[in-house]
Amino acid sequence: MNLNNRPRGNGLSFYIILLVVILFSSFLMGRMGNPEEPTLSSLEKDIVSGKVESVDLNGNELHVEMKAKDGRAPQVVVKKINPLMVENYHKMFQKAVEDSQLSSFDYHQPTDFSNLFNIILLVLMIGSMAFFVWFSFSRQGGDGRTAMNFGRNRAKVNDPAKNKVSFADVAGADEEKAELQEVVDFLKHPEKYTKLGAKIPRGILLVGPPGTGKTLLAKAVAGEAAVPFFSISGSDFVEMFVGVGASRVRDLFNDAKKKTPCIVFIDEIDAVGRHRGAGLGGGHDEREQTLNQLLVEMDGFGPNEGVIVMAATNRPDILDPALLRPGRFDRRITVMPPDLKGRFEILKVHAKDKPIEANVDLREIAKITPGFTGADLANLLNEAALLAARHNKRTIQYEDISEAVFKITIGPEKKSRVITDKEKHLTAYHEAGHAIVLRQISRTQRVERVSIIPASGAGGYTAFKPNEDLYFQTRGDLIHSIMVALGGRAAEQLSQDDISTGASSDLQRCNQIAREMVTKYGMSKRLGNFVLPDNDEVFLGLDYAHAKEHSESVSSAIDEEVKSILDEAYSKTLDVLQENRVLLDQLAAVLMEKEKIEGREFEEIYKAYAANYVDAPGDSDDPFINELGDAAAPRATDGSAEEKTAGFESESEPESIEPSADRSSADPENRP
């Protein structure tokens, strides 16, 4: 329903109707509160007939004393009369006294507090409603939520004097800062560029996963350039009222032009900049009108000099092409998760205000947290601080940070969960299978912890620490990932001659990797370099009429190749575990006894019982990684550093081992 079709002034009409109802109710209650007044004729007859001894008129309250009969006490009748009739009654009683029909008549004129209270209450109600109506319809400025200000922009303006964020506060993004330094220099010295005929990019699009620091980079640009900074979210433009979004865009740029040079930052621009015409019904809706106005403001007929638009999104694939062309968002800067050195720099920034133990080396923490964004690292240190406070510590120690890594990536352990011996035995072999296969075939990862304690609804987990950041993988690496994931299922088959539902998430992951190898990476021996197009469309209608771009025979070949890869990997996994059957039994027995094995103890068991001992993965040739060396290990006072090193990543999602059908609530397939 279009709310604009409603007649104007509906709000005021409501208050008017409410006022009429209150007035009518007050009048009706007043009438109902008064009993029926005596008539002049009946009272006059009683006075003439000599039945009345005396009369006392107190305001509108009449006290009539009747003459005594048969020796009984005189009867007093109290009645309320209409205030408008008081004067008539007063004249009648005076005449009766003069004619000797009444022995006495008194008149009093007291204040009627009940009527006065009602009048005051009514005045207060009317005044309150009048003030509310005036306040609602006359308020100006504000956040644009009132009826008169829907079209005003909701951008927050940061004063350059109060914006203390600079490039020094942004760590782990050196290349991104170098790209933006050009914008800062232009805002400070525009004549340097205008003399050469150069034009600064009108729009800068920051693209990257959530938590990588896109908003922080935009604030740092404004802080470095010391210019006003308008910040607004893309969702703030869209409203249920037609035309409001476009009006807010116009108002935003009008305000920005008054404070040039300045920066307009639109966070989550994909909320308003999505591809037009998507969806089954076409698309000329309010969001598209807002986008059209944004396109006009960024590169229209009007002058827009001195206003630089910066935007951030983690979904550049759904943005409208007109928004990305030169003249609008001329420059795209990809903000990726930090590398090893970047994580170290970010940790130093977030560790400034925290009492971290002196023997904690932040470079070692950076090493065990690949894939973490800046927001993840900030949350990591906060969780470590909470854990330290829980144990009444004065400083944050390495084991607190290590445990926080496990808590974030895997989840808190559920030590109170009651499991049967059969489930415990099956879980021990399952996790032992994962750990042994990983240790035997991986050249870049080390087992850091093997646990059969439930965590986040899972039956157990195997965590490992990557030795280096990996940005791409070979076919062999992907096969090894499949083998590690299948290690739990293979161990179940060897030890129990049966399989459970615990490998559900492992199988899903294996199938996904194998299918991507065939359809995305061209790693199939049969299909070769043939890959399928990426049809992950965001909108239903965008790909609605597209035909299937491969035949049924190709689909069948893909399925056969996926199955072939999985079968080959599973066969190799069984061979690894059969060769190390003694190691598998010993590791499972220790897990049954201790429930949790750290990295160093696992290495001792592996060295003692492995059929074919393989050296642990060494450090990379990367100079920064080598710099860690022995100095990176925390100088703990109790136990070795390796015992306290926390892995952050498991070879698969933590899984629940539930062999019985009557406990399906813990089955991985039923987990959210």
Active site residues: 431
Q: What's the distance, Cα to Cα, between the start and end of the chain in Å?
A: 36
Question: How many Å apart are CA 338 and CA 370, to the nearest integer?
Answer: 8
Residue 311 DSSP SS3: strand
Question: How many Å apart are CA 434 and CA 437, to the nearest integer?
Answer: 6
Residue 294 DSSP SS3: helix
Kindly state the tokens that stand for 65: 């004393």
Residue 145 DSSP SS3: coil
Spatial CB neighbours of 471, under 8 Å, sequence gap ≥ 6: none
Spatial CB neighbours of 566, under 8 Å, sequence gap ≥ 6: 482, 486, 510, 511, 514
CB count within 10 Å of CB 346 equals 27
The beta-carbon contacts of 147-154 under 8 Å, at least 24 apart in sequence, are 147/11, 150/239, 150/241, 150/244, 150/247, 151/243, 151/244, 151/247, 151/248, 151/251, 152/247, 152/248, 152/251, 153/232, 153/236, 153/248, 153/249, 153/251, 153/252, 153/255, 154/232, 154/236, 154/248
For 64, 82, 201, 483, 625, the CA distances from 619, given in Å and listed in that order, are: 113, 104, 43, 23, 7
CA angle (354 as vertex; 351, 359 as ends), nearest 5? 75
Question: How many Å apart are CA 457 and CA 502, to the nearest integer?
Answer: 12
- DSSP label at 330? -
Burial of 569 (0-12, 13-18, 19+ CB in 10 A): buried
CA angle (484 as vertex; 627, 572 as ends), nearest 5? 120
Handedness of CA 659, 662, 666, 670 (dihedral sign): positive
Question: How many Å apart are CA 567 and CA 574, to the nearest integer?
Answer: 11
Residue 617 DSSP SS3: coil
Burial of 217 (0-12, 13-18, 19+ CB in 10 A): buried
Contact predicate 340/625, CB 8 Å:
yes
Spatial CB neighbours of 612, under 8 Å, sequence gap ≥ 6: 440, 579, 580
Backbone angles phi, psi at 584, to 5 degrees: -60, -45
- DSSP label at 528? B
